[in-house]
Amino acid sequence: MKMRRLVVVAGFSLTVLLLGWFAAAGLQHPGGSGELADFQGFREARLQLPEKPVSSCPVEPGEQPPLYAYRLVQENRFDLNGDGTLESFTLRDGRLTVEAIPGFTWESPPDWWVDYYFFGDANNDGSPELNLIVWKEGQFGRHKPFWVEEEEPGVRNHLFIYKLEQGRLKPVWHSSSLDRPNYRAALFDHTGDGQNELKALEGCYTDPSKQKVTLWTWNGWGFSRID
């Protein structure tokens, strides 16, 4: 990951991580940089993959075909804002739709490919967030640092965190591009201190079969690696 103390991918216990992996076919740039040069090419490559529900994905690494050979579908209901009403979350073809009653609908931007989403209190403030593993062009999220005049080209992997408050899905934290893309992630109290940690299954831009599990903790302004 880029800027190891600032940027993190979400985490999950190995059992949870293995529920699914990200579709990485077509990931490598023809020039060998490990990135696709443009989002449209990335999206078209992903859409060529067979669709598969997360719940029916292989549960062990190394199974054939590997999990990153699929375009995953997720459907969940979860009370994200704690009002007692379940919101509906649907991920298909890289687009996440969130629906609530009455009348609230949110869709991820068309220039994002959402690989996977998961729920949990990432920043340990006492309420859950919607956590997204996202592919998009450029190094940064909605805002880039003031000292950066121009972003580097290429489609890169990010972790974005949102809360549902006052009828709006509000950004809590957007990572810059990660040095190693996240395949899957989850939140749980790994250390038994009453605080959530993020356990991430990280991959590789040039070889999606290369994986490692890493553990992170929220430090107040981002995540720090603790394993």
110 token code pair: 């068309």
Give the whole-angstrom CA distance, residue 32 versus residue 153: 14
* Pair 70, 50: CB distance under 8 Å: yes
Residue 2: CB atoms within 10 Å: 15
Give the whole-angstrom CA distance, residue 193 versus residue 170: 28
Indicate the pTM of the whole model: 0.79
- Strands 212-218 and 113-120 turn out to be unpaired
Domain ranges of the chain: 14-225
The per-residue pLDDT string of the chain (227 residues; one tens digit each, 9 = 90 and over) reads: 443 333 333 333 322 332 222 223 333 322 223 446 789 999 999 999 999 898 876 545 455 556 567 888 999 999 999 999 999 999 999 999 999 877 889 999 999 999 999 999 999 999 999 999 999 987 655 555 444 455 566 899 999 999 999 889 999 999 988 889 988 899 999 999 999 999 998 888 888 778 888 999 999 989 999 98
3-class DSSP state for residue 68? helix
Least Cα distance to 167 among 101, 118, 117 occurs for 101
Tell me how far apart the 2 most distant CA atoms of the chain are, in Å: 51
- C-alpha dist (Å) from residue 6 to 17, 116, 179, 225: 22, 21, 12, 9
Phi-psi category of residue 226: left, alpha or beta, with phi > 0 → left and psi -120 to 50 → alpha? alpha
Strands (E), 36-94: 51-53, 71-78, 87-92
Residue corresponding to tokens 């629906």? 99
